[in-house]
Amino acid sequence: MRLSVVLPLCFLVNICFAAGQKKPPGNSAPQGAIENGQSLFLQNCAFCHGRDAAGGETGPDLTSSKLVAGDVAGSKIGVVVRNGRPQKGMPPFDFSDQQIAELSAFIHAEKTKAASQQGGRRGVDVADLQTGNADAGKQYFNGAGGCSSCHSPTGDLAGIANRYQGLKLEQRMLYPEGAAATATITLPSGEIVTGRLAYRDEFTIGLQDASGWYHSWPAAGVKYTISAPAEAHVDLLGKYTDGDIHNLMAYLQTLR
């Protein structure tokens, strides 16, 4: 099923063969989820979305996509990949839950890379950062944005403009590191494993450990807790307008 979709595309663009050779040998040993995701991405997605997921001639930049920013372990990406957007030029793919989680791990890793390249993130114009209105930002912070229910300009955010400037500050605001959910899993042996939540459904829970490896367990066989303290930021991405973001940036830049 998957081959029938992918092969014709490969013949069209003639790029899958080159990408296929880069695939690490052997699929049976557990490999880092990001690595698996990368080889899936190179074979199936890169010719439209670019090898680094930052956009190609026929597919948009995924590293600056709001949908991707709101994705946890494939929750949003999986829907797009499985249904495709045939009218817009994206075909559907038939991937397993684990493959979706791996693709998601790779896309998020590229997103992190893109965000850490100072000034390199597409879609943000440094000049835009200076166009906001600090008073409007302050109002939004205390009002509609609900920021003040978790933050204080004289508490945790005091001096934030000294710690981060420009795009770096904007990234901290839009995608705080704490936004990724953390899973803590207690195995039957009593061993405790912690990492970034990479996959969860009724039957399976998976995480990505500090060195990037993907591990999963039957959900019924282990005890687990999930914490996502900055999850509010994921919801916020769907709410703020560009104007709100510029005003907030102007306001945060007064916190010195």
Interaction site with ligand HEC (CB under 6 A): 9, 44-45, 48-49, 58-60, 62, 65, 67-68, 77, 80-81, 85, 88-91, 93, 103, 141, 145-147, 149-151, 160, 172-173, 176-178, 229-230, 232-233, 236, 248
Total length of the chain: 256
Shortest approach of ligand HEC to residue 187 CB, angstroms? 28
Shortest approach of ligand HEC to residue 23 CB, angstroms? 15
Q: CB nearer to ligand HEC: give 116 or 186.
A: 116
Q: CB nearer to ligand HEC: give 193 or 232.
A: 232
Rounded to whole angstroms, how far apart are CA atoms 185 and 109?
23
DSSP code at position 44:
H
Q: CB nearer to ligand HEC: give 45 or 181.
A: 45
Burial class of residue 177, CB neighbours in 10 A (0-12, 13-18, 19+): exposed
Helix (H) or strand (E) holding 226: strand 223-227
From the list 116, 106, 87, 254, the residue with the least C-alpha distance to 177 is 116
Shortest approach of ligand HEC to residue 17 CB, angstroms? 15
Q: CB nearer to ligand HEC: give 146 or 243.
A: 146
Q: CB nearer to ligand HEC: give 173 or 207.
A: 173
Rounded to whole angstroms, how far apart are CA atoms 134 and 129?
11
Q: In what order do the strands lie in the sheet with 182-186?
A: 214-218, 204-208, 192-200, 182-186, 223-227
Rounded to whole angstroms, how far apart are CA atoms 171 and 175?
6
CB contact at 8 A, 217 and 187:
yes
**Chain CA centroid to CA 3, Å:** 27
Shortest approach of ligand HEC to residue 245 CB, angstroms? 9
Shortest approach of ligand HEC to residue 249 CB, angstroms? 9
β-bridge partners, 213: 32
Q: CB nearer to ligand HEC: give 113 or 151.
A: 151
CA 256 → CA 20, 28, 82, 151, distances in Å?
A: 51, 53, 47, 15
DSSP code at position 236:
H
Shortest approach of ligand HEC to residue 203 CB, angstroms? 23
Shortest approach of ligand HEC to residue 43 CB, angstroms? 9
Q: CB nearer to ligand HEC: give 32 or 137.
A: 137
